[in-house]
Structure formats: C-alpha cells, structure tokens
Structure 1
Amino acid sequence: MTCRQCPAAVERALQDLPGVEVARVNLANKLVEIHYDPNQVSIRDLARSVRKAGYSVGIAKIRFLIRNMHCSSCVTRVESALMMTPGVISASANVGPNAVDVEYLPDEADLSIIRSAIESSGHRILEPESDRGAPQTQVDDVPDVEEIARENEYRLLMRKFWFAAIVSIPVMGLSYPDLVPGLRDWMPMGSENRRIVWALLGVLTLPVLLWSGSQFFSGMWDGLKHRSANMHTLIAIGVTAAFLYSVVAVAYPDMFPRVELAEVFWDVTSVVIALVVLGLALELKAKGRTSEAIKKLMGLQAKTARVVRGGKEMDIPVEEVLVEDTVVVRPGEKIPVDGELIDGSSAVDESMITGESIPIEKLIGDEVIGGTLNKTGTFQFQATKVGKDTALSNIILMVKDAQGSKAPIQRVVDLVSGYFVPAVMILAILSFVAWYVVGPEPRIIYSTIVLVTTLIIACPCALGLATPTSLTVGIGKGAENGVLIRSGDALQSAEKLDALVLDKTGTITRGEPALTDIVTGDGMTEHQVLRLAASLERGSEHPLGEAIVNGAVARGVEPTKSDAFRAIPGHGVSGQIDGRVVFLGNAKLMNDQKIEIVHLKPEWDRLATEGKTPMYVAVDGLAAGLVAVADTVKDDSKEAIDLLKEMGIEVIMLTGDNQRTADAIARFVGVDRVLADVLPDDKAHEVRKLQLEGKRVGMVGDGINDAPALAQADVGFAIGTGTDVAIEASDVTLIKGSLIGVVTAIEISRATMRNVRQNLVGAFGYNTLGIPIAMGIFYPFFGLLLSPLIAAAAMAFSSVTVVSNANRLRLFSPRSKA
C-alpha cells in the first residue's frame, strides 16, 4: 500500500464479503483491523480477498517433503487435512516432487500444527525445505534432503523386491510342478504331500506379504482412518484376498475338491508384491530424474568466496559474504554472489544462468551474477546481493515453486482420480459376485481370480503422475534455457496463445539510444562531423548526448574539449571547438541561426521516417552534416518475431511512441499490427480489447511500467536482465532479456502439454481397457481371462511408462535458445 487510494481499495474488497462488519486500514503501519463473523467468513476468505484486490498479505510459505505420496488420493487427503487447519491459506500437494506447499498466517497457525495436520493424513514428513515467512540471509547449503530420502527409499524397495523375487522362485516352481521335470511324480495330487507343499508355500509367502508388502497395508490403514482409498488399498486387498483364499484351501482342502495345486494363489501373492514393489522402485528412480534441472542449478552455487577484509584476502564460506564485501575472483573460478565489478576485467560464461553461449566481457561497473564462471582475467567486485537474495537463489526458489504448482488440467485429473479407487473396488466386488453366481466351475477360483486381477490392474498412480511429472521436467527444461516459468497454470496457458503483444522499448529494442547514422555535407568527412558533435556533447548527461559520445568512442573518434558551451532548450546545443563556432540540433535551431540546410533535408526526412532522431551539425555558419540516434533493435528480435509468426501467433507491437517511429520499427522487424501513442496506463486496456476479440493474449514487457498489462494478459512475459529475475507481475521471466525466450517458452509449453496428453491418454486408455479385461467381460466371447501376475506386471509398467515418457522431455531442444 503506497497511496491514499490503497486503503480504500482494501477496505472495499473486505467489506464486500458477507460477515465483515468493519474494515479499517492504517496506511502508516500497513495493518488492517477487521470486525467479522467467523460463522460467515474465514480468515482464509479475508486473506484471499485482499490478495484478489492486488495487495499482498503477511503470510509465510513452507514446503514439506513427504514420503509415500503416490497417487491423487494421497494428494487429496493431504490437502484436505491442511485446508481444515485454521490459519492455512492454501495447500498444494504434488506427487511429482513428492512435496506440499503451504501458505499460512504465522499468527494463526505455527509449524507444529501444520506438521500435525500432514501427519494426521497418514504421511510421514521428511524435513521442511523452506520457510519464507521471514527474511533469509544464507544460501541453503544443507544436503539435499529429498535426494537422500529418495535414495534410502529406493534401496529399501529394492531390498524388498529382491526378497520377494527370491522367495517367488521356489513358490512358482512348486506351484507349477509340471515346469520342473519329476516334481509332479513326487507330489501326486490327492496325497498328503499336497498339503505339506501348500503349507510350506504359505510359510514362505507370509514374510513377503508382511515385509515386502508392508507399505501397502500401512497405506491402506492410513486411508481407512480418513475414510479414503488409494492405490495401497487396491494392492493390499488384492494380495490379501489371494493369500486368505490359499490359507482356506490349505486348511480345508475338502472344501475345494476340484482345485489343482496351481490354482492356489501363493504365487500370486509373492509375485504380485515383487512386481509392484519393483514398479515403485523404478518409478521413484525415474521421478528423481525429473528434478535434474534443480540439482544442476543447486550445483552452480559456489561453496566458498575469497574476500578482502582488513587489507588481506581470505577464503570464507559463501554464506558469510556480506553486502558491500570486496570479493576477488580468479580465472576458472565460480563467481560466488551477485555484485558490481570495481577492478579488473574478464570474460564471464553466463550460459548456465541466461542461456547465452558466448562469454560476456565484463568491465568496471558491470554486473556479475553468482554461479557464473570467470573465464579469463582476475577481477574484484563489490557484493550487492548475497544469500537468498542472489539471482541464482531466486531462480532455484521460483523453479521449485513452479514445479510444486498445478496446471488446470491436473486439478481435473485429481478430481476424477478421487472417485477412481472407490469405483474400482465396487467393480471388483460386483465382478466377484457375478462370477460366483453365473460363472463356470470352479466358481470360487474364477471369482477370486477376477477379484484379485481387477483390484491389482487398476492404476491410479499412472493417472496421478501423468501431469506433474511432465510439468516438473518442462519447467526445469525452461530454467536450463533461461526461461523461468512460474507456475503450471502459465505453462498450460502459454500453449494456447494465438496473439502476442510486444512492448517496443526494452523488448523489441534495447531500451537505450545509440548512434546509428552519420551523414556528411560538402567537404566534410564522417570523422570530422562526428568529432564536432561528440565534442559538444562531451560530459553531457542527456541520453541522446551520451549516445553520440559513446558512438564516437566506439568508432575510434576521441572528443575534444569545447568552450562557451550553451544548451538551447527545445533546439539543441552550441559551443566553440578549436576556435570554431559549432551548433548541434534541430531544423529550428539551424533556421534561427540562418544556416542553409536544404541540401541535407532529404537525408533528414529519410532518417526520421526510419524512426530515428536526426540532428544537424553546423560549423561557422555552414551545415557540416547530420548525426542520427535511435533506440536500436535487438539482434535477435526479427528472428524471434519470424519464428512466432511461423508458429501461428499474431504479433502486435504496443508503444507509447508516435505512429511514424512505431511503423518504422515494425517494418524492420516484420510486425504487421501496431498500436502506437498508447500511454502506460492504457496498455492493460489494449490487451483487454484484444481478449474481447476472442484472442488468447500474451504480453511481453519489462515488468515495471508494463505490470498492469502483464497481469491482464493470459500469460505475461517479463524481460529480465542480469540479476533482475524476480519480476512479480510476470508469469514467465526471460532471464537473458531476449525475445527468443518467448519462442522457447511457447515451444516448451507445447512440448510439455503434448507430453501430458500422451500420458493421460496412456493412463486412461490403460485403465479403460485393462479393467474390463480383468473383470472377465470378454471371457464369454473370446475366452480371455487375465492372470493376476500379468495384471501386476501391467500395473507396474504403466506407472514407469508415464514417468519415462515425461523424462523424454529432458531430450527436448528448442529451435533457438533464450
């Protein structure tokens, strides 16, 4: 809140809520006092109302890493438990990173309450990864808790798998004696040997059930405590049904006189558990690869820094670097924190942050970015941002937040998945009853097979993983290419854009004037004309004057001293150089001085038509030539616009410049539609008008005076440069500040959403086809009845396939890197 209108806006937003009696804002201390009826409105509603009005609320945000969150049912249970906790504003759980992001009011809910809510949902917390409710000053240099936990869980699952697999070998062999020569003769059916073998198989299978399958029973129990069902429920009931049937068959064999040895399901219990546990282990390993981008970013952080204190150089941990410390960097070393170069020069490889492949020359006064690599010279810089404030830390934080967010399509899948497991259980029970009533003999065998197979083949995991794994990889791939996609919503929306509005200044162009043209009059050279103009402007703080001087120096022209300098407002400047009277300015200045310029007028008109600012140079009453200055187009703007048009996106330029200047730039870069003379406050209105035409509009701007338009657009792309990456108004931040980044972002969005659709089609298709086959619907027509072992293999394979397909995105390479 910065002005007197802000309190009124907040008060109005709050008082529009039912149950709010009084809302009074104190602008001085930025607090709001609210009298409300808690039976009609919650604190969560109040906070959301303030945020919807465009203002932030004093909330904290924390991420918890969670074990055993495999499917959408788990997600729903965790989120529901948190959203019932007073003081929690929002909760977003995600099976991709196995994490839940929680926004809460510190005065209403502390961490112990939040932890209890998560644990009450039946999930174990590892450690809170970040709490951003208070300022943080240190770089997070703790071991990767998530990676360690994932590796430990993977090893445990593999131990369980190998145990189950080893036990399954004799169980399978003795269950199918015809596969082993001579074994059938040793176990004649109907003899006492049969019961002995069956009992032995049961003893072998029991530890597999109790240890290798323990996570299924604990997961089922946690779900039952909260009146919900999940993947664990299906597996636990399925293998237990097979095991209990086998126990009854061994204890009371006369109940099933027609049952053969191979029709007792010890092997189903052990092999199904082995296959499903193997699937979980492979899925866990594959999910770990989806977060590779974060690991790469965290690996960029330097561990130590060399600082100058008390006149001496010393190596210290990077978290101890303070703002304004002098830091020394030698060739081949990582730059530890952000700062400004104060001594020396070098070429710095910034590709890992910006995607720029060519090392950037750094001179005194230039910014350096923490995590980038010094290539050539030794230099000193003054630290300006340290710890959590560095560009790299901000990038890591934004990528983690984005990977933990949900796309709209994922919310729909979560909703459908919430009904999936109960529906499968009902179908399995109905199938059991139907086969028991009207199925062929032995009915108990067929009905048990159908029950177990239907429960096991259903795979809510594949549905739950279909979207978040692809989003995690896609957002990480964006970060690798200098594009920070801030949410799953933005990633999904970018795919659908059919119109893109580009702010001219700082987006298409560089945002600062530069010398572009030198035109000579009779008897003058370019060197002479430029020397006169630059000498007059030497020491000038005017942007156009600085552009002339910088352009002269870049061309090897050294400005000289001028005397009797005089600024003529609205016209130009004058002075004496080497005893000669020199004027630099517009046509009115020349006319006032009675200087003939008619021979230069055609060149003036040409330059003006091109959107440049031409200035006459006159010496001793004669027009010596022209110099022109313009905000020049970025090197890759035209290429980016051509690529956008190839992608079927209408490109529109929006600018506050006059129509002539705007048209000149538009012609050069290939933009067909131009909106000129638009004031900053009207940019959002122009975006809204395009949306009313039925277009899905993206807006590209600098994130400062374009903030309202960026917020209005379906997707806002903010041009960031150097350490300026945390642009709040944007959905996507382009670190390098190049329009190619927009192309990259849209390409990644399209590739990711295509991958999501492939996963969803595969997951839904698998369940749509697999469940009816498992129920035996096709048995009367084709004699097709699925084995529980095949069902278990298919179930495990479906989840691994989804995650592996998502990992294919890691191979994606955009046509042009940001």
Structure 2
Amino acid sequence: MSTTAIPVPDPVEGRAPIPDPAEGSTTRGPQRAFGVAQLVEALPGALIKLNPAALWRNPVMFLVWVGAALTTLIAIAEPFLGGPEASGGTAVPAGFTWGIAVWLWLTVLFANLAESVAEGRGKAQASALRQTRTTTSARRVVGYDASSDAAATAASIVEAPSADLTLGDVVVVTAGELIPGDGDIVWGIATVDESAITGESAPVVRESGGDRSAVTGGTRVLSDRIVVRITSKPGETFVDRMIALVEGASRQRTPNEIALNILLASLSIVFVIVVLAMNPIASYAASPVSIPVLIALLVCLIPTTIGALLSAIGIAGMDRLVQRNVLAMSGRAVEAAGDVTTLLLDKTGTITYGNRRATDFVRMPGVPADDLARAASLSSLADPTPEGTSVVELAAAQGVVATLPDGAVSVPFTAQTRMSGLDLPDGTQVRKGAGSAVLAWLEASDAAPSTSLRAQLVSETDAIAASGGTPLVVATLRQAQGPGEAGSATGTVLGVVHLKDVVKDGLRERFDELRAMGIRTVMITGDNPLTAKAIAAEAGVDDFLAEATPEDKLALIQREQEGGNLVAMTGDGTNDAPALAQADVGVAMNTGTSAAKEAGNMVDLDSDPTKLIDIVRIGKQLLITRGALTTFSLANDIAKYFAIIPAMFMGVFPGLAALNVMQLSSPASAVTSAIIFNALVIIVLIPLALRGVRYRAASASATLSRNLVIYGLGGVIAPFIGIKLIDLVVSLIPGF
C-alpha cells in the first residue's frame, strides 16, 4: 500500500490560547439569539402549535389556552346574553372581553413562538446536515477475510447502493469517493475531508487498528485506499441521529423539566382554587366578578412566564452545544453536565499538547556535548515520531547535523524492547529509550556501567521525571573486532534526552474557574507517578491518576459516584468505552472508535478533549438560566397579585385602597394592563432564554444570591413599572 505524506502542523509551535465559551466563539459561528427574520420564520410553526393536542404536555399554557377559548366564547355570546351587568356584576367597557380574549391568545402564541424560534435554529442546522446525506454507489466486498489480502481483490467487489448496506458489510473506498456509511477502518490509512460534518476544512488522517479508525458516512476520502466495515443500519447513521437531535424530534423532556412542570401544574391548580373562591366572596358583597376577569386574574397569577419559556430554554441549551460542534444524545446529558462535580481529563492532548519535545541533552561525566548530541540524533534519524524529529532538531540547533551512513540498519521502537536506534556499519550500536531498558540491554552484553555512573544516571532521570519530563537514555555498544577480543563489548552511557510535555496555554486559569464552581479536576495519565505529579502541579489540577489502565478509570469513576459526585470524562478508544458508559457525562471523540461513540452520551465532532470544560459551562448556564427565569416568573406573580387585587376589590372593600400603590385608573384598566404585560414579558425574555443567562464562575451560594437580587427583585419591580406604563395608555381609551 502506498501512502501520501500529509504535513501536520506542529501543535507546540502553532499553539493558540484556548477559547473561552463565555466570549461566544463557536466552530459554526455565533448566531443571533433573536431577530425579525427568525420571528417571521417561526410564526407559522407557532400558529400550528395552537392546536391543543400540541399544548397539553405544557399544563400552564394549556390552561391559558382553555381560558382564551372560554373568553372568546363569552365575547361571542355577550351581544345575545348581555354583559356582566346583566347578571348583577360590575359593568365593563365595550370590547373589554374581546380585548382580554385577544391578549390571552397572544400569550399562548408568544409561548409557542419562543419554542418555535428555538426549534427553527436547530432545523436550519439539520437542513445543512441533510444535504450531506446522499445515496452513493458503494463497492461491497463479498466474503471479506481479514486474514487474506486486506486490500480486497477486484473479483470480490460488487457495486451496491449505499442505502442497501447493512450492519457488518465491508466496503472499499478510494481517493475521491464518498464513504457510504458509518464504519470502522479495518485496513489502510487515508486522509478524509470531514468538513460537511465538523465544519473544519483541514483534512484529517484516519487509519485502522487504533483510536482514530472511525469514519462517518458522507465524508470524502482525499488520498489512498481504505477498507471499511459498516457499523450502522440504514437510517440509523450518525448523520441521521444528528438531524433528529438538532431538529428536536427526539428531544425528550429531562427529569428536571418534568419535575418543574409538575410544580408549575400544582401551583396552577392552587391558583384555580383561589380564583374560584373569589367570586363567592365578591357575590356575598353584592359585586360579583365576571368570568373573563376571573380568567384574566388566573392567567396573571399562574407562572405563565416560565411555563412559556421552559421548553425553549432546554432546546437552546442543546443548540449552544451544537454550535460548538458537540452533539448531546439527550437533554439529560446537558443537565448532568451542569451538575458535574468531578472532571476527569486525559493528560495527553487535553492538558498537554500531546507531542513531547526534546528540550535538553544531559551529559554524563566526561562525555563531550557533541558526542551525546550526535548519538541522540543518529538514533532518531529513522524515528518518524514527533519526539524523534524534535531530537534531531535540538541537535541541529546545537550545531550537530548527523547523516544516515550507508549500510546502517534502523532499529524501530517496540513495546517489548522500549528502545529504538541504529546499527552502524562499523559494528557500533546506538540506542535511545527508557533507562531501565537501556541498562538491561547493556547488561545483556556484559557492558553494564559502573555503580557510580548508574547512580548518576538514575539521579538525572529521576530529576527529569520529577520535573514533569520524560527521560530517554542514550548509549552505545561496540563489539570488539580485534584479535583475542571476540565476545567482549564496550558500552557507554552518553547521557539523557529530556523530553517534555507542554501544558496548554490558559489551562491553569480555566481550572481555577472550575475550582471556583466547586468542580474537582483529576488528570488521568499512563505516566509514572513522579511525572504525573509534576505535570498536575504545572497545569493546576486538583488530583491525578498515574499509570492508569481502563480498569483504573472505571474504578475511579465508580468511587466518585459512590461518594455522591457526578462525573464527566472524555475518551476516544474502545478501551475507554466502559468508563464513558459509567460516567454521568461521557464525551466521545468523533475520531474515536464506534464503541466509544456508542458508549458516550455526547460526541465532540472536533475531537477536542479540552471542550469538556466548555460543556460543563454550557450545562451550568442551562440550569442557571432555568432557575433565574423561574425566579423572575414567580416574583412577577407576586407583583401582579398586588397590582390587580386591590384595584378589583377596593370598591367593595375600601381598606384595600391602601394596597393600590400603583394608583391604577380603574379595575378594568388594571386587569387589561396586567394581562397585556403578562403577554409582552414573554416576548421580552425570549432572547434571554435562547442566549442564556451569562454564567460567571462562582460558588452555588454566590450565584443564588446574585440571581435572587437580579431576577427575584427585578421580577418584583418590573411588573409595577410595566403595568403602570400600560395603564397610562389603556386609560386613554374611552370607557377605561
């Protein structure tokens, strides 16, 4: 198989500060929370939602719909039956009942509009995704045998529509072709254009046998040839699931939403009983209250504001994740992210940039600097890894440029030897690797270093490890060639290469913010405890788990959960699947295996593990937005109660005049003004519901205190001001 080398930008040299989600930067670009165009587009959907069959799941707004329908019937019947005065009630201005009916319908419409606008943004994204879902011709391999020719012969390939592919089918995809379905690469390596899914224009490398083997249907292969095993059924591809989720078609109400709906329904029932009890009291005072006024009073007292915005808040929370290229499989996952108390983060690629770089050569006593640099460079010439390249670059920076001699044999790194190097034509062997492995290699040839040199070497490697680096020992071994010297060898430990993981810029500040939120951060790494401790201290995490295995990760999550914590983690490999499934928030990388994506409840399309921090912030923003607007809604009800009740009954009970602090012009004006304000406040709060309350890192008590002041006190004051201003306008209408 031939492959095309793809230049990969150096993540250390080209690193950029981590974006802060509070600034609003997104992969797909920021969207306006609310605009005239969105309002017009959402209006037809809002009108359709006036159907009571679509409203009954929202008990508060369903009650408003019933009140609007009943008021409309009364308004139609009034010319034939007479107004309230016909039954001994207080006379009302002409058109009063129709006015109340219209504003009740507008209240329901505005609530539907909030939800429709939120859904509309998801539908626009789903439409773009739907354009990537095409039926292509797939080349299916018949009787594929992984033990035979992995490239699949032409005789074993049949053409088939991609829609006919089933779970387990194997297909061949070459440069320029679309991948016909979701799957895992079982042979080959290729560059793939995933811009249709992720929005990123840069191609990515996908290969078999690792944690970057998953491919998505509808993406295009740019180079080489791969064999893919299909892992999805027709109609159940990753893109299909994305479309359903961003459209809101499969967005189920979360437990918190259900609990809040039950609370709102209970409050509504209580207010129904209270309002029904008012008419007998007024009738006893020879001043019965008309049904439209009672309905208006009920609608103003029940928590219509949060009832109208609750669904939009949930949809907008998932939409904010989609804007950052994170797909949440359920609203429950977004809420859980807001309640997370423990964050598990992989070191490599999350806390550090992932590619260790040579930063220094540490010489052993008596070894010339150029000898160490030349040997280290020679041992790395055939090493294509970023670490090997950085060793060659460091030597060149010190003026030592080594060339590969003719006849030299490269020795690749293996997990068994834990070394790599070069065998030179003159019999000299150069090795670079873990200290224990290099010492064992020398001892096997009876060329072990002296006790003092060994102690010096151990001291240097421990110091590098303690500083967060990775030590690689460089040594040479030369078999004696002279007469009488057969079987003897000379080994020389030249020194140590200091490899260092570079901690990403801005992480310490981010971890400080998480700590202020009450979130504990734990770094997970396969490094030894000394290295892990040093990097954890540099990055600013609270704790670390060194030499971690998949079983260790799972056990750590279970211990945290048993202690009452909610845990979030990221992963991309099949070995991460158990931990992702166990975590309360499991974020799988899109580049990872299908097993990882199936186990997690979120998928990051950009495969950026640091985005887990952003996900937690978005989850907290969702919960804070819901809590803030619930506080505002309940505070509104208290203010409206003091606005309406005194104006309605002070004629019967003069003592209530002292509570008419707004000095509303008349009972009819008070009721009309309150019902108008009740409807308009929904429209005013739609942008806030979609954008979310700005989140600031703070303790729960500080956040609660701040929201009580802003949204609690604000919710009490706003109706007094708004209703009074509306009353001044309404009182200009004759009869009011």
Do these two structures clear the TM 0.5 threshold for a shared fold by scoring above it? yes
Shift of 1:586: 1.7
**Would you say 1:587 and 2:445 are equivalent positions?**
no
In 2: Cα distance, 1:774 partner to 1:617 partner: 89
Report the counterpart of residue 620 of structure 2 in structure 1.
750
Of stretches 762-771 and 590-599 in structure 1, the one that deviates more from structure 2 is 590-599
Q: What are the within-5 Å matches in structure 2 for residues 171-320 of structure 1?
A: 230-249=63-82, 262-263=93-94, 265=96, 267-268=98-99, 271-272=102-103, 275-276=106-107, 278-279=109-110, 282-283=113-114, 285-289=116-120, 291-292=122-123, 294-295=125-126, 298-299=129-130, 301-303=132-134, 305=136, 319=163
Q: 1:621-665 CA deviation, whole Å, 9 max, x = no partner?
A: 3537456597x74764x6335312233233233456532232233
Where is the strand percentage greater, Structure 1 or Structure 2? 1
Question: 2:328 touches 2:602 (CA, 8 Å); kept in 1?
Answer: yes
In 1: Cα distance, 2:581 partner to 2:601 partner: 8
Flag the 1:237–1:735 CA change in 2: closer, same or farther, 3 A.
same
Residue identity opposite 1:303 in structure 2: T
> SS of 2:541's equivalent?
coil
Flag the 1:370–1:506 CA change in 2: closer, same or farther, 3 A.
same
Residue 615 (structure 1) aligned to one of 470, 473, 477: 473
Residue identity opposite 1:279 in structure 2: F
Question: 2:198 touches 2:325 (CA, 8 Å); kept in 1?
Answer: yes
| Identity score, percent | 20
Report the counterpart of residue 793 of structure 1 in structure 2.
676
Report the aligned-residue RMSD.
5.4
Flag the 1:753–1:674 CA change in 2: closer, same or farther, 3 A.
same
Shift of 1:757: 1.9
> SS of 1:467's equivalent?
helix
**Would you say 1:578 and 2:425 are equivalent positions?**
yes
Q: 1:522-576 CA deviation, whole Å, 9 max, x = no partner?
A: 37467742464357x88xxxxxx97877778999976976569899977968984
Residue identity opposite 2:442 in structure 1: M
Q: 1:492-540 CA deviation, whole Å, 9 max, x = no partner?
A: 33334444333446754678988776667537467742464357x88xx
Flag the 1:401–1:553 CA change in 2: closer, same or farther, 3 A.
farther
**Would you say 1:643 and 2:510 are equivalent positions?**
yes
**Would you say 1:659 and 2:529 are equivalent positions?**
yes
Question: 2:536 touches 2:542 (CA, 8 Å); kept in 1?
Answer: yes
> SS of 1:674's equivalent?
strand
In 2: Cα distance, 1:476 partner to 1:554 partner: 45
In 1: Cα distance, 2:316 partner to 2:405 partner: 54
Shift of 1:741: 0.7
Question: 2:507 touches 2:539 (CA, 8 Å); kept in 1?
Answer: no
Q: What are the within-5 Å matches in structure 2 for residues 297-446 of structure 1?
A: 298-299=129-130, 301-303=132-134, 305=136, 319=163, 324-327=170-173, 337=181, 348=193, 350=195, 353-354=197-198, 359-360=202-203, 362=205, 369-370=215-216, 382-385=227-230, 387-388=234-235, 390-396=237-243, 404-438=251-285, 443=287, 446=289
> SS of 1:806's equivalent?
helix
Question: 2:325 touches 2:605 (CA, 8 Å); kept in 1?
Answer: yes
Residue identity opposite 1:754 in structure 2: I
In 2: Cα distance, 1:408 partner to 1:493 partner: 10
Q: 1:225-263 CA deviation, whole Å, 9 max, x = no partner?
A: x9x97332222233334444443118x998779958x34
In 1: Cα distance, 2:273 partner to 2:417 partner: 83
Flag the 1:683–1:652 CA change in 2: closer, same or farther, 3 A.
same
Report the counterpart of residue 324 of structure 2 in structure 1.
481
Residue identity opposite 1:437 in structure 2: Y
Flag the 1:577–1:303 CA change in 2: closer, same or farther, 3 A.
same
In 1: Cα distance, 2:646 partner to 2:543 partner: 61
Residue 336 (structure 2) aligned to one of 485, 493, 500: 493
TM-score, length of structure 2 as denominator length: 0.63
TM-score, length of structure 1 as denominator length: 0.57
**Would you say 1:453 and 2:296 are equivalent positions?**
yes
Q: 1:660-703 CA deviation, whole Å, 9 max, x = no partner?
A: 23223324433353344666445455445556777655445557
Flag the 1:734–1:156 CA change in 2: closer, same or farther, 3 A.
closer
Flag the 1:596–1:802 CA change in 2: closer, same or farther, 3 A.
same
Q: Which runs of 5+ in 2 are unaligned?
A: 1-38, 141-153, 395-401, 432-436, 479-489, 651-656, 698-736
May I ask how many residue pairs the two structures share in their alignment?
Answer: 585
Report the counterpart of residue 738 of structure 1 in structure 2.
608
> SS of 1:414's equivalent?
helix
Shift of 1:745: 0.5
Q: 1:65-114 CA deviation, whole Å, 9 max, x = no partner?
A: xxxxxxxxxxxxxxxxxxxxxxxxxxxxxxxxxxxxxxxxxxxxxxxxxx
In 2: Cα distance, 1:319 partner to 1:367 partner: 22
> SS of 1:590's equivalent?
helix
Question: 1:701 touches 1:717 (CA, 8 Å); kept in 2?
Answer: yes
Report the counterpart of residue 533 of structure 1 in structure 2.
379
In 2: Cα distance, 1:755 partner to 1:437 partner: 44
Question: 1:574 touches 1:581 (CA, 8 Å); kept in 2?
Answer: no
Flag the 1:296–1:745 CA change in 2: closer, same or farther, 3 A.
farther
Q: 1:204-243 CA deviation, whole Å, 9 max, x = no partner?
A: xxxxxxxxx9x56x899x99xx9x9733222223333444
Report the counterpart of residue 765 of structure 1 in structure 2.
635
Of stretches 690-699 and 752-761 in structure 1, the one that deviates more from structure 2 is 690-699
Q: 1:104-154 CA deviation, whole Å, 9 max, x = no partner?
A: xxxxxxxxxxxxxxxxxxxxxxxxxxxxxxxxxxxxxxxxxxx9x987655
Shift of 1:618: 0.1
Question: 1:503 touches 1:653 (CA, 8 Å); kept in 2?
Answer: yes
Q: What are the within-5 Å matches in structure 2 for residues 657-696 of structure 1?
A: 657-676=527-546, 680-687=550-557
Shift of 1:582: 0.7
In 2: Cα distance, 1:291 partner to 1:568 partner: 47
> SS of 2:447's equivalent?
coil
In 2: Cα distance, 1:498 partner to 1:304 partner: 44
Of stretches 688-697 and 407-416 in structure 1, the one that deviates more from structure 2 is 688-697
In 2: Cα distance, 1:565 partner to 1:773 partner: 86
Question: 1:615 touches 1:627 (CA, 8 Å); kept in 2?
Answer: yes
Shift of 1:761: 2.2
Flag the 1:634–1:797 CA change in 2: closer, same or farther, 3 A.
farther
> SS of 1:404's equivalent?
coil
Shift of 1:276: 4.5
Question: 1:328 touches 1:380 (CA, 8 Å); kept in 2?
Answer: yes
Q: Which runs of 5+ in 1 are unaligned?
A: 1-146, 158-212, 539-544
Report the counterpart of residue 312 of structure 2 in structure 1.
469
